[in-house]
Amino acid sequence: MPALPSSPIRTLDQLALRGRDGDPALVLRDSTLSFKDLRDRVATLAGWLASLDLAAGARVATWAAKGELTSLMPLAAARAGLVHVPINPLLKRTQVAHILADSGTALLIASKARLASLEPGDLPERCDAFEESAAIAGHAAPIDQSEAEPEDLAAILYTSGSTGRPKGVMLTHANMWLGAVSVAEYLGLGRDDRALAVLPLSFDYGQSQLLSHWYAGGSAVPLDYLTPRDVIKAIARHGVTTLAAVPPLWVQLVELNWPDEAIRPLRRLTNSGGALTLDLVRALRSRFPQARLFPMYGLTEAFRSTYLDPDLVDAFPTSMGKAIPHAEVLVVADDGTIAADDTEGELVHCGPLVAQGYWKDPERTAERFRPAPASSRYGGMAVWSGDRVRRAPDGLLYFVGRRDAMIKSAGNRISPQEIEEAVLATGLVSEAVALGVKDERLGQAVHLIVRVKADSSQAMKDLPRILMQELPNFMQPRQIHWRQALPLSANGKIDRVALAEELAA
């Protein structure tokens, strides 16, 4: 097995030890916690959790907006020997009740309003509930560092996937520690870096906004924004150097005017929750020429998988790049062999970032987590992503599409991304989603949903004509649905499931 980082893998709570005492670690609405404050608060919150006499490994869930509780709980729960289950604050009681029941949560800490929204039966039996203010103000003797082993479970992150109810991805201390190490390494983070944490903290990369900067001795500013302009204002106010966002937010951000004081501090831009389109890459490079752009690909089951070196972005703007540190990414052909260059195959992620499977779901675990290909230098279990990619002769990877998202029309397997890229390349619309809708003759017919720009009437005339020129007949949309806005999921991604259900109705 290849050597792991020179700094030993430790328990997750020890990330709080990385920074210097007086340096800022967490910038809240009304206060800033130094690293000494961070260590003290984590120790006290962990002590309060320990005082509740929960069994070792019990699940403790948080359901609250970004703030001190949700930022500290990943470390505090780990120190108390518990497993953290962060719940997206945008979820409603029905989804929350499923997560609580599925995880067997023994303790829920939530905001007063969210607790009030729960109905009888939503809390599992023997599950206690506290308001977040009670947890933060709880008086208990602080406890020292965790005695857990790196392979012990530290968190369960629930991901919706494309079908079915959310499933819990099991992450160990080592998974999350190495994730922070990897991101801090390839982003080149340092003590003077500050992240604006706009991604949900229930999201794998959302937590990484905090953990990777704390590993580097830097700081983070949690932000629940109402409008994209709130993001711009926060960057200027706090001197933010690192911004991660999902593509729909990036689209909205580049459409706005940015003052110099918001552009100037940014050193690096990253993406999550979907690939950046060619037009969006060019817009980001034009808007923020001084910032290094890191296009990335990842999945909750293995955290991050690939990133594109910013020095290659202008020359290869559509590439996924190569494997991040401490990961091995293989392109596997349908016969199980390593695919040849420029040949489509399945992306398989191997190495120590691979999660431990789905919580109490052996059937779905067996589908996604399988032994690594024989050629893997890591071996062990790997994540078979279901995503179709190809590897160029220079080693750069390119996304083709999801196997289960492919549109099958009249015998053709059509990549939605290929259609979407062609639509966005026209410059007539801001966002586009291609979906397959059941059709008796074709199997599936292509439907296109687009978010229009200002002059929608002209776009409605020109787009069909241009697509007839740019796409083959079998890729032509049966119908184009024009929208002023597209629905977003709780993680800020375009909600393809909701759109598909709407079109199928």
**Given its phi and psi angles, is residue 115 left (phi above 0), alpha (psi -120 to 50 degrees) or beta?**
alpha
Closest CA to 131 of 223, 69, 42: 69
393: which 2 tokens? Answer: 């002769």
**Given its phi and psi angles, is residue 305 left (phi above 0), alpha (psi -120 to 50 degrees) or beta?**
alpha
Q: For 83-96, what is the mean pLDDT?
A: 90
* Cα 108 off chain centre by: 23
The angle that helices 228-238 and 247-254 make with each other, rounded to 10 degrees, is 80
Cα 221 from Cα 237, distance rounded (Å)? 11
Enumerate residues 6+ apart whose C-beta is below 8 A from 440.
none
Question: What string of DSSP letters covers 45-109?
Answer: HHHHHHTTTPPTT-EEEEES-SSHHHHHHHHHHHHTT-EEEE--TT--HHHHHHHHHHHT-SEEE
Instruction: Please report which helix (H) or strand (E) contains residue 397, including its range.
Output: strand 397-402
Tell me the pairing of strands 303-307 and 322-323.
antiparallel
- Condensed to tens digits (0 to 9), the pLDDT of residues 432-470 reads 999 999 887 788 899 999 998 866 788 899 999 999 988
Q: Give residue 72's identity as a one-letter amino acid code.
A: L
pLDDT value for 272: 86
Cα 218 from Cα 206, distance rounded (Å)? 16
Q: For 124-148, what is the mean pLDDT?
A: 91
109: which 2 tokens? Answer: 């800490």
- Condensed to tens digits (0 to 9), the pLDDT of residues 11-36 reads 899 999 999 999 999 999 999 999 99
Cα 371 from Cα 409, distance rounded (Å)? 33
- Condensed to tens digits (0 to 9), the pLDDT of residues 345-368 reads 999 999 999 999 999 999 999 999
Please indicate whether residue 344 or residue 163 has the higher confidence score (pLDDT): 344
Q: For 188-202, what is the mean pLDDT?
A: 96
Domains of the chain: 12-189 (3.40.50.980), 406-504 (3.30.300.30)
